[in-house]
A and B are shown apart, each in its own frame.
Chain A
Amino acid sequence: MSAPPLLDVDGLTLDFRTRAGRVKALDDISFSVQRGEILGIVGESGSGKSVSAYAVMDLLDGNAEIRGGTMHFGGADLIERDRAAVRSMRGREISMIFQSPRTALNPIRSVGRQIADVLVRHGPVPRRQAKEKAIAALRKVRIPDPERRYDAYPFELSGGMCQRVMIAMALACEPMLLIADEPTTGLDVTTQAVILDLIRDLVDNSRMAAILITHDLGLAGEYCDRVAVMHAGHVVETAPMAALLGRPAHPYSAKLVAATPSSAASIDELASIPGNLPNLLRDDLPYCRFCDRCDRRVARCDTEPTPMTAVGEDHLVRCWSPL
């Protein structure tokens, strides 16, 4: 990788202060995204996928506390910069689409107006031209009859159509980075395929990059170039997609690959992952948060913190006993 990454998260550590104690939501996580690629972030619910994205977007709740690490976007420091500067970047240079499009859209404003609002807020677009540009944005995400759909309210559109509106809104200011947090959960497989084909096309045909957060490794496999596997607030492995599916190095990644229905030929081949995520409120979290569920545990797992080590080209794993 010669070019500097577009987004570089390095050693990010983040806690949530709660009445019950500190939730160690992210611990020393690192990942990067290059221009023109899709990075997948996969893992079980509660592994920290969304929190990582929210940290990049500065959308964290007030009780979140960044305790260490850096985040750089196009060379600019996202943590040190003053919040106003980051806020103006958000939406214009980095934008995000959320899991449930219908709740993320304003129910009492037409979808076209909502896109126009974004254009007026972020871009040097006068109100008069905003409508035209919003219609162009709707056309870009292949919404049929965009002139008429401009005046539609979210409840008049299907889930797939609402998600396209969200993407149109996210792309209206031509961001450098699109973060998609489970963008197709709750949508039909046929709609899912259309939405992700669209994101893939946009990345291939512009200089945009994307992060696809998903729990479905099969889905990540079809659309992502590289992948970061998260478990209990750790990034346990980062690798090119094909390498992860072909030769997963972390025991958790290997289990995740084997537990994905699309990779199994029969029910007997389907692997299950025993145990649960550790309670992140614990003060005595082990160095490796997977060790209690792991069948490759060695003495060193309990005594030394696990660094990210290279096991191949652009392939890092956080394990003392990789496969």
Chain B
Amino acid sequence: MTTLLEATGLKRFYKVGSGRKRGMLHALDGVDLAIGTGESVGLVGESGCGKSTLARVLARLVEPTAGSLRFKGEDIAAIPLARFITSPLRARIQMVFQDPTESLNPHFTVGDAIADPIRRLRGAADKNDLDRRVRAALAMVGLPDNLIGRYPHQLSGGQKARVGIARAVAVEPELLILDEPTSALDVSVQAVVLKLLADLRARLGMSYVFVSHDLDVVRLLCERVVVMYLGEVIETAPTEALFEGPAHPYTRALLAAIPDPHRRGQHPPRLDGSPRSPIDPDPGVCQFYGRCPRGQPVCAQSRPPLRPVGAGHLAACHFAGHPA
């Protein structure tokens, strides 16, 4: 598999506070990540762990503070945001947002919403050509033609989610970044959208970065999972390997928290407390220290780097690979 997008040492800091309370919030604190052509990568972690920031940096919507972002070998992080908008690469990376209601312009009809990116990013020969492409995009996500003149408020949640997907795939991206695309949907509709996404990827050969807090959904849709904690990747592995043998204590806690009817009456150990402050973190302490059930003195003395613990399986823990 060739690498489509490779992020190295990606950082994104935000200034917070003022005066003596001024600090730097480390939303992304040195993320290395490679996404293969046609690969589907799931990005999971608690709220505030930086997964949405990473998705936006990868989509080139947020400027990284440091680090490089190579798309097919070209460093796109070096292209200023303002110029990237008109770059031919803009169409190559597209994003589907979390809330389909919030992310559609209420004054745009379905047709306008899909036509707009096509016109701006790919260009159309004439009106007929544009119309043909809009209809093709609608057909691709299984929406009937007669919705073309409707406004978002006239659509159901599932239909809006599909318009959001149609608008992104209409410009034939190679990488689609999906930020919790089904979290606002009912389970019956979620199933339809998930199946559509799996089908589109198989047909169009796109790569996916799928951000989600629902590990079950990631298990069904992704080949590889990346687990984030406080702005860092703490574990990455092929999906099956991760679910079968999580190496990082945080990943273990995350998996143990997935509701499971077969676990009725048992009480697996739970992860309590909240993460450390992301403001000016101590680079010499493991970010999970203090909350970690396995914490040892060494964890407070050095931050563990990601290291291999199996085939394609990396984990950032001093004790990864050792049985719990």
Q: Which residues of A contact B (CB under 8 A)?
A: 44-45, 142, 144, 158, 160, 188-190, 192-194, 197, 215-219, 221-223, 241-242, 245, 255-256, 259-262, 264, 266-267, 270-273, 276
Contact = CB atoms under 8 A, between A and B. Distances in A.
B51 to A, nearest CB: 12
A189 B254 contact: yes
Contact of A272 (B191, B221, B256): B191
Given A44-B188, A215-B186, A241-B261, 7 more contacts: A45-B186, A218-B259, A218-B260, A267-B221, A270-B195, A272-B191, A276-B156
Nearest to A45: B186
Interface stretch (B11-19, B94-102, B105-113, B211-219): B211-219
A304 to B, nearest CB: 27
A213 B271 CA distance: 24
B268 to A, nearest CB: 8
B322 interface: no
Interface of B: 46-47, 156, 186-192, 194-195, 198, 213-217, 219-221, 253-254, 256-261, 263-264, 267, 270-274
Given A190-B253, A270-B191, A270-B195, A262 B258 contact: yes
A184 to B, nearest CB: 10
Contact of B46 (A190, A218, A256, A267): A190
Contacts of A44: 186-188
Nearest to A260: B187
A255 B188 contact: yes
A271 B191 contact: yes
Given A189-B257, A241-B261, A276-B156, A158 B191 contact: no
B213 to A, nearest CB: 6
Contacts of A197: 267, 270
Nearest to B250: A190
A230 to B, nearest CB: 13
A273 B191 contact: yes
A202 to B, nearest CB: 14
The 9 closest A-B pairs by CB, nearest first: A221-B261, A273-B188, A261-B216, A272-B191, A193-B257, A219-B259, A189-B257, A272-B192, A259-B191
B142 to A, nearest CB: 11
Contacts of A194: 270-272
